[in-house]
Structures are given as C-alpha cells and as structure tokens.
Amino acid sequence: MARVVVDVMPKPEILDPQGKAVLGALPRLGFSGVTDVRQGKRFELEIDGEITDAVLAEVEKMAETLLSNPVIENYAVRVEDSVAAEAAR
Amino acid sequence: MKIGVVTFPGSLDEVDAQRAVTLGGHEAVALWHGDHDLRGVDAVILPGGFSYGDYLRCGAISRFSPVMTEVIEAAGKGMPVLGICNGFQILCESHLLPGALIRNDHRKFVCRDQRLRIENTSTAWTTAYDEGAEITIVLKNGEGGFVADADTLDRLEGEGRVVARYLDVNPNGSLRDIAGITNERGNVVGLMPHPEHAVEDLTGAGTDGLGFFTSILESTFA
C-alpha cells in the first residue's frame, strides 16, 4: 500500500472567502504576524500496489476530473514517503 | 411540452420547479438522478438545493450522476436546459457553461428579493421577457459568486451571453454583477436566483419569474 496526496488550492486570482475568515479570526485569538491565509483541500489516496508512472497519470486524471475544478483551483500530486507517513501516525 | 425536472439527493426546489412548469402551461415530468433516462422530455430543469450536501464542491458529484450523461448529450444537440442555483453550479461543473460559482464574498448565506435586469431575451428560457426588463425574484445562496477569468467574462459580455445581471446590490460578489449566463447556442441557461419561487401572487416576490417557464413554448414555435 502506498499513499498519493493531492493538494488542491484556490487559484491565486480567485477570492478565497474561507481563508479570509481564518485570517480575520487569528488576530482576535491573539495571533499576530500572519498577512494572508489561503484554504485548500488535501486528499489522501491509498493506492493498491506499486506507484508507477501509469498510476500517477491516473491520479492526475482524477485530480483534474473530480478532485479539483480547473476553472478555480490548482492541484499538485505527490507520493507520500511511506516511512515518513508511518512515523507521523 | 414536457419539461423534466431532475431530483438529485439533496435537491430542495424540484417540487416548486414542477409547479412553475405546470403554471407555465407545460407538463412537468419528474426525472431521477440515478436513471439513464430523460423519459422523452423536450427540456430539462436542474433545480436548486444542496445536492450531495455540497460535498467536495457544489454540483461536483451530481455532475457525474447517471442522468447527467443524457442531459449533457441532449444539451449538445440543442435541448433547452435551465439550471437554477445548484443547477447552475452543476452546469458549470459539467462544463456546459463557463466559469464557476464560489462562496459569497461576504461569507454569509443570503436570502432576499433580488432585482435583476434581463439582458438576453433570445435564449430558450427568456423569450417571454422584454429586452432590459427589470424583474424581482427570490435569491438564496451561500455559494453564488460567479467567477471566470477576464477573457471569459469579456467573451460572455461581447457575445451577449449574460442573461441576467444583479441590480441595486451585488448580493454575493459575482464578477460584473452576473446573475445568469447562457451557452453559445442559447439553449443552456444557468441562473443563480430562483424564478420558480416567483410564479404566484400568493407567495414570494410576485410573478416576475413565470417568464422563464413560458418562454420555452414561445421559443419553440418562434
């Protein structure tokens, strides 16, 4: 089993009201120094078998078709190091 | 004419839409998201609501419903399709219409009687209106901000594909006050406010919305 992570973020030019809400809440809680917040989504895909180029191409297709809307969002696909992933648990 | 109204899991306004279709002088046909079947209808309405709980993105899951295969194919052949609110979101996710709808810029759900200007009266759904008609219908959305890149917006305006624009206030941050758009052919229309809630004097903001449900007949026999 291996994990592929897809990060989806609103495009820089697209307004991100949720990020703005978080940005507004931080100073109210006493946190300072944050000048901007963008909120996105992280998908963790558990993949059966080895991560090959073909598998990654397939994940790219998933990201483009369903996980993101290319009109308003960018995505990035990466394979998560399984050792690091286990340690993080 | 037979006008189908699709029910998705989480649709809210399909009954109002069916009622509006009937008041518009047509036969309303209930369509089911899980069927690969348009039941012989002449036009389709995708109603408002929160299909699939707005999970992932509004309309993103519904867009891949079995019935949408047939809707997209029929729309490509010229069948009139009207998407209201969540239906508009589904049409954008389906790429039948350009752009996308994002969370309201002020971050609150908005519910109000909204004044609009009808700017394109040649679509399948707007022939009953006079050019530039100002109407008031219900608006209710949390993610109604229409966005697209500048080129797309210029093209929509240049080709007269802005169907309706917000007047008085911009209720949700939609770019260039756009409330509704159409495709190149004029058979697919997406609209964020709800004409189906303004078809009877007894309730709602009046009867200004009825034109969306009577136009279809006029455009067919025109």
B102, A14: Cβ pair inside 8 Å?
Answer: yes
State whether CATH 3.40.50.300 applies to domain B2-221.
Answer: no
The amino acid at residue B126 is T
Residue position matching structure tokens 């200007």: B117
Residues in chain B with CB shorter than 8 Å from the CB of A15 are 102, 105, 145, 147, 173
Residue of B33, B85, B92, B197 with catalytic role: B85
Domains plus CATH for chain A? 2-14+40-88 (3.30.1280.10)
Q: Which of B63, B3, B75, B9 is nearest to B39 (CA)?
A: B3
Least confident interval from B27-31, B112-116, B212-216: B212-216
Q: Which of B103, B105, B146, B175 to mutate to test the interface with A (most CBs of A within 10 A)?
A: B103
- C-alpha separations of A72 from A66, B144, B167, B200, B216 in Å: 13, 14, 25, 37, 32
Q: What is the DSSP string of B181-222?
A: EE-TTS-EEEESSBGGGSS-SSSTT-SGGGHHHHHHHHHHH-
Domain positions in chain B are 2-221
Residue B95: closest C-alpha in chain A: A71
ipTM reported for the complex, 2 dp: 0.88
Which residue in the set B100, B103, B106 is minimally distant from A69, CB to CB?
A: B100
CA distance B182 to B159: 10
Residue position matching structure tokens 């291996």: A2
| pLDDT tens per residue across span A29-77 | 999 999 999 999 999 999 999 999 999 999 999 999 999 999 999 999 9
Amino acid A84: pLDDT: 54
| pLDDT tens per residue across span B9-61 | 999 999 999 999 999 999 999 999 999 999 999 999 999 999 999 999 999 99
User: B103 with B141: CB under 8 angstroms?
Assistant: no
Residue A19: closest C-alpha in chain B: B107
User: B7 with B33: CB under 8 angstroms?
Assistant: yes
